[in-house]
Amino acid sequence: MSAGRLYNFSAGPATLPETVLEKARESFLNFENTGASVMEVSHRGKVFSEVAERTEATLRELMAVPDNYRVLFLPGGATLQFSSVPNNLMGQQDSADYIITGHWSKKAFDLSQRYGQMRVAADAEALGYCDIPRAEEWVLNPGAAYVHYAPNETIHGVEFHNTPEVGDVPLVADMSSNILSRPIDVSRFGVIYAGAQKNIGPSGITLLLVREDLLGHCRATWPDVQNYAAQSASGSMLNTPPTYPWYLAGLVFEWMRDQGGLAHFEVLNQRKADKLYHAIDESSLYSNAVAKHCRSRMNVPFVLADDSLTAAFLAQAEQQGLLALKGHKAVGGIRASLYNAMPEEGVDALVAFMREFERTQA
Ligand SMILES: *Cc1c(COP(=O)(O)O)cnc(C)c1O
């Protein structure tokens, strides 16, 4: 890492690959000899059109996106999709199913209720959001417009290690915090969406993949900029899009491809997570309550046996150059986010600090 940069475990906006930031810096004033920054040119001009095309092409290659899926870059963050999903997908149906496994899938359900009689197919609240209800216990409605879930719960640290089986009903995933962390079969999903600021790039843009046959059912009252068919028809340029985050997302995709693609990141992310969970499990000071089969590889929350030590842990971690480890206020304690751009050396440094901190408490 270059001088002055520290290991940043923020849940989002999150750390970006240093080589991407350097590349952006090189072209900050003068992009590819055009005489202007990429953020200073028309989104409809040749320069940015090429950036947009290259970004989509690289993403399609990375995720092996089938031809019958459209790729959209939308404003409004993942949160706006909690409303856009029902408004685009409900069609003639009056209900959709929600699987609730933590903060974000609960929020998606709460907001969706303005738009229909939504049903809870499964709810992990009684499990303290530390486990995923067994699939045999889910109550899925075969006539639902879609099934919504969050493959990775960023706050509770709960991740589906496999894509759920929901029959012919379109599966909709809020993949904000684990998209691009491992290969997935896109054809299993109706819609995948993700705010960029965890594993894609800076905040300000939302990636959405949608199966073509799901387009064209948007409610007339819903804004066109959140109408998937209208945005798709205009290349996500119904109005001025957030061009700079879009460009940076493209640089991140190219960096990922050059590193070896999603297969490379799957192995790396597993190794990083294994190291941290091992350190937690072998200690008597730290603990993580999530069931092992659904522990998140991206966001690792843990608590100290004596909570009065948490403030000292955070202060000393920061002195060691380990940033943003404070847990979300909903669960407290510590949270280390280990997205693609967190190098393995950062996890090694965190684990070394945790051992040293525990030793000095003994
Ligand atoms: C961060 C996050 C969100 C919220 O994203 P915004 O872009 O701030 O709206 C939603 N869902 C999940 C799973 C997240 O991690």
Percent of the chain with pLDDT over 70: 100
Please give the radius of gyration of the chain, using alpha carbons only, rounded to the nearest integer.
21
My answer on whether omega of the bond before 13 falls inside 30° of 0, hence cis, is yes
Q: Ligand 1 atom 12: the closest Cα is on which residue?
A: 176
The mean per-residue pLDDT over the stretch 280-293 comes to 98
Query: Which of ligand 1's atoms lies nearest the C-alpha of 152?
Result: 13
How far, in Å, CA of 244 to CA of 28, rounded? 10
Residue in this structure with the two tokens 């750390």, named with its chain if needed: 15
Q: Output the CA 107–ligand 1 centroid distance in Å.
A: 10
Residue 362 has pLDDT above 90, yes or no: no
Distance 79 CA to ligand 1 centre (A): 6
Give the pLDDT mean for 215-244: 97
Cα–Cα distance measured from residue 41 to residue 31, given in angstroms and rounded to the nearest whole number:
10
- The sign of the dihedral angle between the CA atoms of 106, 118, 207, 226 is negative
Catalytic residue among 97, 104, 106, 326: 104
pLDDT over threshold 90, residue 102: yes
Q: What is the mean pLDDT of residues 144-168?
A: 97
End-to-end CA distance of the chain: 33
- Is pLDDT of 93 > 90? no
Give the pLDDT score at 188: 98
Selection from 77, 51, 2 nearest residue 252 by Cα: 51
The DSSP annotation for 239-258 comes to: S---HHHHHHHHHHHHHHHH
- To the question of pTM greater than 0.95 for the whole model, the response is yes
Residue (of 6, 39, 1, 37) closest to 19 by Cα position: 1
Helix and strand tally (H, E) in the chain? 9, 14
**Is the model more confident about 2 or about 342?**
342
Is residue 46 part of the annotated active site? The answer reads no
Ligand 1 atom closest to 195 (CA) = 7
- Asked about 106 being catalytic, the answer comes back as no
For residue 92, pLDDT beyond 90: no
| pLDDT tens digits, one per residue of 61-82 | 999 999 999 999 999 999 999 9
What burial class does residue 86 get, using C-beta atoms within 10 Å of its C-beta: 0-12 exposed, 13-18 middle, 19+ buried?
A: buried
| CA distance linking residue 255 with residue 337, whole number of Å | 20
Alpha carbon distance 186, 92 (integer Å): 25
Find the DSSP H helices in the chain.
18-26, 46-63, 77-89, 103-112, 228-233, 243-259, 261-282, 310-319, 344-361
Please state the atom number of ligand 1 nearest to the C-alpha of residue 12: 1
pLDDT in tens, 290-330: 999 999 999 999 999 999 999 999 999 999 999 999 999 99
User: Is 80 exceeded by the pLDDT of residue 1?
Assistant: no
Question: What b/e string do you get for 299-335 counting C-beta neighbours within 10 Å, with b at 16 or more?
Answer: bbbbbbeeeeebeebbeebeeeebbbbbbbeebebbb
Mutate to test the pocket of ligand 1, among 176, 200, 328 (most ligand atoms within 8 A of CB): 176
**pLDDT at residue 27 in the model:** 94
Of 272, 264, 268, 263, the C-alpha closest to 346 is: 272
Task: Pick 288 or 93 by higher pLDDT.
Answer: 288
The helix or strand, by DSSP H or E, that contains position 149, with its residue range, turns out to be strand 147-149
Q: Which atom of ligand 1 is nearest to the CA of 175?
A: 13
Tell me how far apart the alpha carbons of residues 30 and 38 are, in angstroms, rounded to a whole number: 8
* Ligand 1 pocket by Cβ (under 6 Å): 12, 77-79, 104, 150, 154, 174, 176-177, 195, 198
pLDDT at 91: 86
Compute how many other C-beta atoms are within 10 angstroms of the C-beta atom of residue 233. Answer: 12
Residue with the smallest CA separation from ligand 1 atom 2 is 176
Catalytic residue check, 174: yes
If phi > 0 it is left, if psi is from -120 to 50 it is alpha, else beta; for residue 356 that is alpha
Per cent of the chain over pLDDT 90 is: 97
Q: Band the pLDDT of 94: cuts 50, 70, 90.
A: confident
Check 106, 198, 272, 326 and give the catalytic one.
198
**What are the tens digits of pLDDT across the range 107-136?**
999 999 999 999 999 999 999 999 999 999
